[in-house]
Chains A and B, each alone.
Chain A
Amino acid sequence: MAKYKNYVLARSIEEAYELNQKKSSVIVAGNMWLRMCGMNKQTAVDLSLLGLDRIEKTQDGFVVGAMTTLRALETDTALNDAFGSVFARALAPIVGTQFRSTATVGGSVYSRFGFSDVSALLLALDAEVVLHQRGVVKLSEYQLEAWDRDIITHIRIPGGQRASVQSVRVSGTDIPTLVCAAAKSEKGIRIVLGARPARAVIAADGLKLVDAQNIHIIEEIAGRTAFGTNLRAGEAYRRRIAPVLMARAVKGCMECEAKEAAEDEC
């Protein structure tokens, strides 16, 4: 279990940032995985009083506070209306409702968990990370970086996209064996593979619809992606099922788009 000497409920993001510059400090978000990592820290810095738990609709999409819980993403009507309920569907298999009522989007993104359904979906949606010191960074870049001492304040999600997430799990509420997220925007189709078991990667970007629906092209993309082995599945298994999930995710985007078009006609 994680051990702290002091627990500080930060009163401002500046205070939290200053405290977090010491290596002996750690930011506490949802505290789901952090507490299990057995670390000894002098100061735990809590962001829960900073009002970073809101989901706001903007002209370009949505701005989500870093302390927003996964359950809030799952149940937010405006967010799910805008993205064809993809957040509700993609996050529902994560452990249980009580877990999702505490786990935060900022904690998931900062930790760059390989098994994260959240990171895979946000990466497919071309999300941006707002950091207190560095400002706005593309999640696709942030995802590749090493952990630093800056603090995520918000996640920006561009609107006007249709997305779908597909995953394979050993059992219903387990972490995924493989997760695939696809999003369709005006730039084309982006496909992300996560739980490889390494960090999620963009397997394809700007793909034309005709190519995304071609299983040979999908298989070729999966063939170029690196997979690994862990206790949940072997590299060969992941490589085998990846094209299936990718094809289903693309199909899911198209179904979402068709459904919305039909509703618009009504």
Chain B
Amino acid sequence: MAELKLPELAEGVNEAVVSFWHFKEGDVIKEGDEIVEMATDKAAFNVPCKISGILRKILVQEGDTVKVGQALAIIE
């Protein structure tokens, strides 16, 4: 089991907002799949998954503000 975390963005940028999930709980994820779109005040970007597995649990919902390093989902 592994946590998908919000990666470091840039110096001085500590958080981003969840735009939407490209997958739902129970979906099979392949390494490199972009699974969630996030946005800051300047950029919208996708967070890719570094491992293959099943998206077990989504921990943050669309519209939530997430800190760098915070877990977004659990991949099993």
Chain A complexes with chain B: no
Residues of A within 8 A of B (CB): none
Residues of B within 8 A of A (CB): none
